[in-house]
A = this chain, B = another copy of it.
Amino acid sequence: MAKIIGSSLSNIPWQSKPLNCTDAIWRYTNNPVIKRDAIPSSNSIFNSAIVPFENKFAGVFRCDSKSRSMDIFAGFSEDGINWSINHDPIKFEGADREILKVEYRYDPRVCFIEDRYWITWCNGYHGPTIGVGYTYDFKKFTQVENAFLPYNRNGVMFPRKIDGLYTMLSRPSDTGHTPFGDIFCSQSQDMTFWGKHRHVMSTIKTNASAWQSTKIGAGPIPIETTEGWLMIYHGVLNSCNGFVYSFGAALLEINRPWEVKYRTKPYLLSPQEYYECVGDVPNVVFPCAALTDASSGRIAIYYGCADTVTGLAFAEVDELVEYIKRNSL
């Protein structure tokens, strides 16, 4: 039976699976947990990252303004459900002014490694690439070098060094609404110079699993389990009326996370509720963070809905891992 390798965290949000539900993942009944107008300037608050912080929770939130400008904001919560998000975007400090210039920032992830919270996001630097920064306290933020050359999106750190190297997943992209995209893995000794780029997984071009036929990208920080890294990821199908974003999961080798052990053929969650189907970008569920409790095996997944609001879904690790194995491509 699969177990989470990590801390116990009994206060994460939780709701038991509905009685007649046969899926491996189920939605929070009070979704969306974060509304589009949760701060005065916001048009929408969606693809956002949450972590445990000082026995409570902190997060970095994508809040698109009423100018439809994309930026990231810090926020805090006692229960992971009711959030107080700062009204001003994160301001990074750092050594090199070239790096600190802000074009646009979106789709953050937050990952605690050793002593600090690393933040990665899609950062505008003559095109989208992976911005990197860190904080100890969600008050003061330091930005370091962009991890890669443009054009890249969905940079997601592993929560510990692997073989002594910082390790990041990402999805090389182009300058626009990228109609292709595989997941790659890269490593670094110092969070500045990156290399050892390995291909992790491709889209599925056949009918076997069309929900992930156009592009795929890592979601929350991978969860270490006794069965491998549990990587929840989004996949995109290109219908005649636009992209549909669903999400599934894979299990990656612990020591060589560019090797895929299992990968869901069906999606785990697809846009079906009103708040997932109707909004600024219809038909999107986009996971960016997960809270886990190693004791109980509970997982709470935060995901953007229709690029407009933030939803919450739940799973239990043993059931989910079992599902991935039984329904693998």
| A residues lining the B interface (CB < 8 Å) | 22, 36, 40-41, 43, 65-70, 98, 103-104, 124-127, 129, 145-152, 170, 172, 174-175, 177, 180, 182, 184, 186-190, 192-199, 202, 206-211, 213, 237, 239-244, 246, 265-267, 270, 272, 274, 277-283, 307
* Chain B residues in 8 Å Cβ range of A187: 193
* Chain B residues in 8 Å Cβ range of A69: 207-210
Contacts A22-B40, A195-B147, A241-B283; is A267 near B210 (CB within 8 Å)? no
Q: Which of A22, A197, A208 has the most CB of B within 10 A?
A: A197
Q: For the complex formed, measure the closest distance between the CB of A3 and the CB atoms of chain B, giving whole angstroms.
A: 26
B147 and A267 within 8 A (CB): no
A240 and B242 within 8 A (CB): yes
Determine the distance from Cα of A202 to Cα of B239 in the docked complex, in whole angstroms: 24
Q: For the complex formed, measure the closest distance between the CB of A207 and the CB atoms of chain B, giving whole angstroms.
A: 4
> Could you say which of B198, B244, B278 contacts A274, with CB atoms under 8 Å apart?
B278
**Chain B: CB-nearest residue to A236:** B240
Determine the distance from Cα of A189 to Cα of B186 in the docked complex, in whole angstroms: 16
A125 and B199 within 8 A (CB): yes
Q: Which of A36, A192, A280 has the most CB of B within 10 A?
A: A280
B68 and A210 within 8 A (CB): yes
Contacts A241-B241, A282-B282; is A67 near B194 (CB within 8 Å)? no
9 cross-chain CB contacts under 8 A = A65-B266, A68-B210, A125-B199, A150-B184, A151-B174, A193-B196, A239-B307, A240-B242, A244-B280
A68 and B209 within 8 A (CB): yes
Determine the distance from Cα of A149 to Cα of B150 in the docked complex, in whole angstroms: 9
Contacts A98-B198, A174-B174, A206-B103; is A149 near B184 (CB within 8 Å)? yes
B193 and A195 within 8 A (CB): yes
